[in-house]
A and B are shown apart, each in its own frame.
Chain A
Amino acid sequence: AQSVTQLGSHVSVSEGALVLLRCNYSSSVPPYLFWYVQYPNQGLQLLLKYTTGATLVKGINGFEAEFKKSETSFHLTKPSAHMSDAAEYFCAVSDQGYSTLTFGKGTMLLVSP
């Protein structure tokens, strides 16, 4: 069975500061990993994904994440936070070639001026 752990239900940063949202996973097979963002009362938007190949993946809005197999991690980072980044972020995992997603509990990113 797969699982995803997101450390910290809330993360607060100042505008311009580094954003780091943590995600650890467990999977019995090499995983596909995803980060999604959700704004209030909206669906999920894909930020980035890792399937195979380069372990550092870049996504939209300046976000990136690095797949570290030895640490079973896929942390999300952004060098400089914007006010518009304030939202809920979900990490998710799926088996290769099979698309059922298992989501973490989410991390709310708060950005202060």
Chain B
Amino acid sequence: GAVVSQHPSRVICKSGTSVKIECRSLDFQATTMFWYRQFPKQSLMLMATSNEGSKATYEQGVEKDKFLINHASLTLSTLTVTSAHPEDSSFYICSAINSGRSYEQYFGPGTRLTVT
């Protein structure tokens, strides 16, 4: 139980284009999901908190107009990287809170974004 999926697992896009990453909770409802960014050999940095039916809360320094988050249902949150640049290349990981177990996050397998 408590499986979180991400799609795609890898994506390559050209500079200036946009790319959407999906995060799904497969066997539980998640009122809250988190988006993290991880640079090579570094820790996870929280980008934003996504709450179903409301606007995402972004961490300081994260451009909300560049990283669009939509949490339209209890099982799906999406992260859209708009007008991507090579410096946006990174590993993006989502996590979801099982509403019945509020203190534990379940992590997706991550999405490797490469912007050329």
Interchain CB contact (< 8 A) of B44 among A96, A99, A103: A103
Interface residues of A, count at CB 8 A: 22
CB pair B43–A99 under 8 Å, yes or no, is no
Q: Main secondary structure on chain B at its contact with chain A?
A: strand
Residue pairs across A and B with CB atoms within 8 Å: the count is 50
Interchain CB contact (< 8 A) of B42 among A42, A45, A51, A105: A105
CB within 8 Å for A97 and B46 given contacts A41-B112, A42-B110, A43-B110:
no
CB pair B109–A90 under 8 Å, yes or no, is no
Q: Which one, B12-20, B60-68, B79-87, B96-104, is touching chain A? A: B96-104
Residues of B within 8 A of A99 (CB): 32, 97, 102-105
Task: Answer whether residue B35 sits at the interface, using C-beta atoms and an 8 A cutoff.
Answer: no
Which of B1-51 touch A at CB < 8 Å? 4, 6, 32, 34, 42-44, 46, 49
Residue of B nearest to A45 (CB): B107
Provide the bound-state CA to CA distance between A44 and B108, in Å: 7
Residues of B within 8 A of A (CB): 4, 6, 32, 34, 42-44, 46, 49, 91, 93, 95, 97, 102-110, 112
Residues of A within 8 A of B (CB): 32, 36, 41-46, 49, 51, 90, 94, 96-101, 103-106
